Amino acid sequence: MSVEPVRPITLDEIRDAQKRIAGTIVRTPLVKLELGKGFPDIRLKLENLQPINAYKLRGAANAVAMLSDAERSKGVWTISAGNAGQGVAYAARAAGVPCHVVVIDTAPESKKERMKALGAKLIPVPFDVAWQAMDERKYPGMDGTFVHPFDDHNFIAGNATMGLEILEDAPEVKAVIGGIGGGGLVTGLGSSIKALKPQVKVYGAEPETAAPAALSHKMGSPQTFAPWKQSFVDGAGGKSVFPRMWERMKPLVDGYIVVTLEETKRAMRLMAEKARVIAEGAGALPLAAALTGKAGDGPIVCIVSGGNIDLEKFCALISG
């Protein structure tokens, strides 16, 4: 499958995407997390309030809208642990297009049920199979138009619209942190923020169990993370950094912050207690990273990328 070469995403493309998806997405609020003295100044970008409870709707809506009629007529498919699948299914349903999702079999039931409710046909596979299919951009039996969940120019341009909103709502921001799964979120943030305010730092956050981007940054080239382990942080933390994504991230991301699973649980609990926000594991990584102090005193914007987590599991994690 031929793929267009990696190129920077322009501000014009991001502004066009913002207009294109305005009727589909929610312009999410930015709220200050009141933590008291001795803590950084932290604001939460509440992407868990999107119609699918995750930021992926931005990218998916833009990517599906930009497909040609011929591409749409074949139907669309994607690969997902749940949030990209919901985004593509939501956008496909709105466009009247059939959708299949090759879904990681350990995805939370809540994410699977919601993809089905949006009309997607699910093909459950182990993580390794899904990761390989993402790399190869193909899966046996899938013949529709593939929408890559992160390595897709139009998907990333949709994600980048978040950066425009952040700079409007917090022009004084010093740093922005996004979780990393494949790298589509931080690449989008970096594309819009660096174009408008290059002095603002952009950081990626990863769990200690799956931190290939931090390793790649340290080694200066895209790496595979050998000690990878599955965890409740199912929406972030890949096994490797794809070379194309490394090419995208390298000029835009200033650094990577690795957090423990305990720090991530603490961040989930803190958001629930202080802001009444339910965040899934990946959505709590940026706050956990901000609380390490490695991103400075702020103002820091933490992207709460999603809130799709089974409530019983959420309660068990924050009360443990």
Could you report the per-residue pLDDT of 111-126, keeping only the tens digit for each?
899 999 999 999 999 9
Residue 153's SS3 state is: helix
* Residue linked to tokens 């349903």: 93
**Overall residue count recorded for the chain in this entry:** 320
**Whose CA is closest to 33, among 279, 309, 317?**
279
Distances (CA, A) of 277 to 59, 143, 178, 190, 290: 23, 39, 17, 25, 17
280 is written with which tokens?
Answer: 């899934």
Domain spanning 11-54+154-319, CATH architecture: 3-Layer(aba) Sandwich (3.40)
Q: What is the pLDDT of residue 2?
A: 75
Domain 57-151 in the same topology as domain 11-54+154-319: yes
Query: How many secondary structure helices (H) and strands (E) does the chain include?
Result: 14, 10
Question: What are the structural domain ranges in the chain?
Answer: 11-54+154-319, 57-151
User: Which residues, at least 6 apart from 307, have a Cβ–Cβ distance to it below 8 Å?
Assistant: 48, 49, 53, 54, 277, 278, 279, 280, 283
38 is written with which tokens?
Answer: 């001795």
The pLDDT tens digits along the chain (320 residues) read 678 899 999 999 999 999 999 999 999 999 999 998 899 999 999 999 999 999 999 999 999 999 999 998 999 999 998 889 999 999 999 989 999 999 988 888 888 999 999 999 999 999 889 989 988 999 999 889 999 999 999 999 999 999 999 999 999 999 999 999 999 999 999 999 999 999 999 999 999 999 999 999 999 999 999 999 999 998 888 899 999 999 999 999 999 999 999 999 999 999 999 999 999 999 999 999 999 999 999 899 999 999 999 999 999 999 97
Q: What is the pLDDT of residue 1?
A: 61
Distances (CA, A) of 203 to 49, 179, 225, 253, 320: 22, 9, 19, 6, 28
Q: Rounded to an integer, what distance in angstroms lies between the CA atom of residue 108 and that of residue 152?
A: 25
Q: Rounded to an integer, what distance in angstroms lies between the CA atom of residue 209 and that of residue 134?
A: 20
Which backbone phi and psi does 34 adopt, to 5 degrees?
A: -85, 100
The fold adopted by the segment(s) 57-151 is: Rossmann fold (3.40.50)
Residue 202's SS3 state is: strand
Burial class (CB in 10 A: 0-12, 13-18, 19+), 143: exposed
User: Which residues, at least 6 apart from 129, have a Cβ–Cβ distance to it below 8 Å?
Assistant: none
158 is written with which tokens?
Answer: 């949709």
Q: Is the pTM of this model over 0.85?
A: yes
Q: Rounded to an integer, what distance in angstroms lies between the CA atom of residue 311 and that of residue 309?
A: 6
286 is written with which tokens?
Answer: 């940026």
Q: What is the pLDDT of residue 56?
A: 94
Q: What is the pLDDT of residue 48?
A: 97
Q: Rounded to an integer, what distance in angstroms lies between the CA atom of residue 102 and that of residue 245?
A: 21
